Amino acid sequence: MLSKRYTAMLSEKDIIFEIAGYGRQRAQEIGADNVFDFSLGNPSVPAPPSVNQTMTDILRERSSLEVHGYGPGMGLPEVRDTVAQSLNRRFGMNYERGHIFMTIGAAGAVAHALRAVTEPGDEIVAFAPYFPEYRPYTAGAGLNLRVVPANVDTLQINFEALEEILNPKVAAVLVNSPNNPSGVVLSTPTVRRLAGLLEEKQREYGHPIYLISDEPYREIRFTGVDSPYIAACYPNTITCYSFSKSISLPGERIGYLAVNPAAEQAEKIVEVCPQISRTIGQNGTATLMQLTVAKCIEETSELSIYEHNKDRLYRELIRDGFTCVEPGGTFYMFPRSLEPDDVAFCQQARELELLFVPGSAFGCPGHFRIAYCVPEEKVIRALPRFRQLAKRYGK
Ligand SMILES: Cc1ncc(COP(=O)(O)O)c(C=O)c1O
């Protein structure tokens, strides 16, 4: 019999893909140039040329059996060493191979982290606005997601609301900085305050509260933004990383999980990960991609394009009368909608061929997400439409 659980998920429409689907349909009707699709977070800059070159070299130099064969469930030892050394060099940490587990993107890393430190029925805390996939990630592990409402003026953490939600059933707190959908980066004072509060609650509850730090946008940080390495501020941190955005490889499905060596049972957390892989049927990651990212570990795509788009769009939006917390990274922006109903607002925008995702999809109504990972010329041509949209609301 077909699974009721997954059939039910079919009816919980994925609004982002629904909007992107509409964008494709509209592009066929009126031409792609006339649709301003800001719905999807797909990198718009290619991978650095060295990535393809590295892959070609690996295929030429290594044996087919080695590159295409099964690898160790944890990931290749030399790749895990390279990841650890790179993090140590860049962030003053002391990771070793035993703290690194190679994953299928950040999604795979979060799925493993959530299972490694919880029991079904535990609570996981996340902060609005949050990545919508946190719902299926947590539900799939039998966990209850508790969402801390946003502090809409700063989009930093709403500590009063967090304190109300924390309780002994909370096994982990999930943070995402730089953030999808807002682009906001948690500042050093915010992260320190969070760390202090979690330390206090761990003592009070008598068990660890892990901080799962989902960081696929770590490399997309804008000039001068205070952006701490979160694991350096709180020992019980599990960092989830992806090469999807930093080197524009979302389709290659490669990332890693790094457990702070100072975390409780750090090595054991990594040791259980391949057992989790067995239960979810996601054993190992592609050898070719592991070898490639290890060779390109500190490279990035031409990420400055995103900051350029952000500067132009943010300046114009503020001039047009929108309110928005200025992003510190990513390729997203999360302005307030010009009417309380963010879905109705996005519908108004649609009439001008501007496609956005309503904030309610991220647990933060009254806002909308602009994914500005599009060519610069598209941003420039969209600006008059933003102005028209603002005028519709008397701005
Ligand atoms: C906040 C956040 N976490 C996790 C992911 C999943 O990343 P990946 O595609 O690398 O698995 C994404 C992807 O967009 C994301 O925005």
pLDDT at 125: 98
- The number of helix segments (H) and strand segments (E) in the chain equals 14, 12
Q: Is the distance from CB of 107 to CB of 272 less than 8 angstroms?
A: no
Domain boundaries, the chain: 4-47+302-392, 49-295
- Determine the distance separating the centroid of ligand 1 and the alpha carbon of 105, expressed in angstroms: 7
Pocket test for ligand 1, best of 242, 246, 282, 373 (most atoms within 8 A of CB): 242
| Topology (CATH level 3) of domain 49-295 | Aspartate Aminotransferase; domain 2 (3.40.640)
Cβ–ligand 1 contact at 316 (below 6 Å)? no
Pocket test for ligand 1, best of 244, 248, 253, 330 (most atoms within 8 A of CB): 244
Helix/strand/coil (H/E/C) assignment for every residue in 157-184: CCHHHHHHHCCCCEEEEEECCCCCCCCC
Cβ–ligand 1 contact at 176 (below 6 Å)? yes
Q: Which residues contact 365 (CB under 8 A, 6 or more apart)?
A: 340, 341, 342, 358, 359
pLDDT at 9: 87
Of 344, 325, 331, the residue nearest 389 (C-alpha) = 344
Report residue 197: phi and psi, to 5°. -65, -45
Task: Flag whether the pTM goes above 0.95.
Answer: yes
DSSP E strands, the chain: 36-37, 100-103, 123-127, 144-148, 170-175, 210-214, 237-242, 255-259, 332-333, 354-355, 357-358, 368-371
Cβ–ligand 1 contact at 252 (below 6 Å)? no
CA 223 to chain centre: 20
How do the pLDDT tens digits run along the chain, 395 residues long? 999 989 888 877 778 888 989 999 999 999 999 999 999 999 999 999 999 999 999 999 999 999 999 999 999 999 999 999 999 999 999 999 999 999 999 999 999 999 999 999 999 999 999 999 999 999 999 999 999 999 999 999 999 999 999 999 999 999 999 999 999 999 999 999 999 999 999 999 999 999 999 999 999 999 999 999 999 999 999 999 999 999 999 999 999 999 999 999 999 999 999 999 999 998 899 999 999 999 999 999 999 999 999 999 999 999 999 999 999 999 999 999 999 999 999 999 999 999 999 999 999 999 999 999 999 999 999 999 999 999 999 98
**Sole residue written with tokens 């995402």:** 176
Q: What are 193's two structure tokens?
A: 């305050």
Q: 4-47+302-392 in CATH: which number?
A: 3.90.1150.10
- Determine the distance separating the centroid of ligand 1 and the alpha carbon of 387, expressed in angstroms: 31
Instruction: Give the position, in ligand 1's atom list, of the atom nearest the Cα of 104.
Output: 11
pLDDT at 10: 83
pLDDT at 80: 98
Cβ–ligand 1 contact at 228 (below 6 Å)? no
**Sole residue written with tokens 């750090």:** 266
